[in-house]
Structure 1
Amino acid sequence: MGAGGRTFDTAHVLSATWHEKHVRPIADDDSFLRRGIGELLSRWGGLQMAVKNQWGGHDSLKKSQELAHHLYLLFSQSNAVVTVEEIENLLHESLLLSFNTEIEDGSIEEVAEQLMILHEEHLIGIH
């Protein structure tokens, strides 16, 4: 990673306690999909470390909320076919561009898979 960048390669499972006290990924919407995305991202240690340490600047929290909203919009498009690779790319790009952080612990792939499962459950629930 270039000068000033961060590479994250440690255990990615952190307590969601800090996040639960300080972060509301998507406000005022109780839909299954929105809540699920928010909960998954709140348990993602790499993202939460970036937010807590403000690796994306003073608006790091807002950037994590925007990621959650972007995922929601992607999944809620009625005619969209979403692949796990697209989600992995979105997560990787978001961390790199928004937080100047690369995560190399396998958690991007893990979170992407969990998001795909959530998306599939959402699709089953609406049909």
Structure 2
Amino acid sequence: MASTSQRIHPNKEAFIEGADHIFASWTALELAVQQQWGGPDSQEKRDWMVDVVVEEFGKKGSKIDQEDIEDLLLQIMEDEFECILEDNSASDVSYHLCKIYRECVKGDHSTVDKLRLQRDSKDNSKAAVSSSINVPGQSVSGDESSSDEEMDQD
């Protein structure tokens, strides 16, 4: 997770936390880190990946494109973890990152709060996560994938 001695805006802080939670629930990335596909510093590469993605959102702001984020995730997974993903999970992750970003910009941290509760619950029980929001790396239901909150495909 990104750390800094400076105080950052609460919305950015929430987005960083949300991104960290999303990456922590991404099965492909979790497996790559656990199995050290990126070498002995796989955990550091995962943390760096969060920083890179947060920085990309910071550069592009509301002009961010979900497909660009997906491409960035796929490229990092291939370059840093020698993992070529064919499971569409990078698309799910990029969707959730864009969704959380849009919410955090508006000061809405409800999804980040839900992710925090999920992660705390998972850490406490080590049980499967289930809630009203989708966890990246798991199937997106038909209702969720066709919601009106999807990014425009310009």
1:46 and 2:22 matched: no
TM-score where L is the length of structure 2: 0.61
Match in the other structure for 1:26: 2
* Aligned residues: CA RMSD: 2.0
Structure 2: which amino acid aligns with 1:70?
Answer: V
TM-score where L is the length of structure 1: 0.73
Unaligned segments of structure 2, at least 5 residues: 109-154
Whole-angstrom distance in 1 between the partners of 2:21 and 2:82: 23
- Hey, which of these two has a bigger chunk of strand by percent? 1
2:79 to 82, 86, 97: 97
Match in the other structure for 2:91: 109
**Aligned length in residues:** 102
Whole-angstrom distance in 1 between the partners of 2:105 and 2:62: 11
Unaligned segments of structure 1, at least 5 residues: 1-24
The 4+ residue runs of structure 1 with deviation greater than 6 A are none
Q: Which of the two has higher C-alpha Rg?
A: 2
Match in the other structure for 2:132: none
Matches within 5 A, 1:1-127: 25-27=1-3, 31-77=13-59, 81-125=63-107
Q: Percent identity?
A: 25
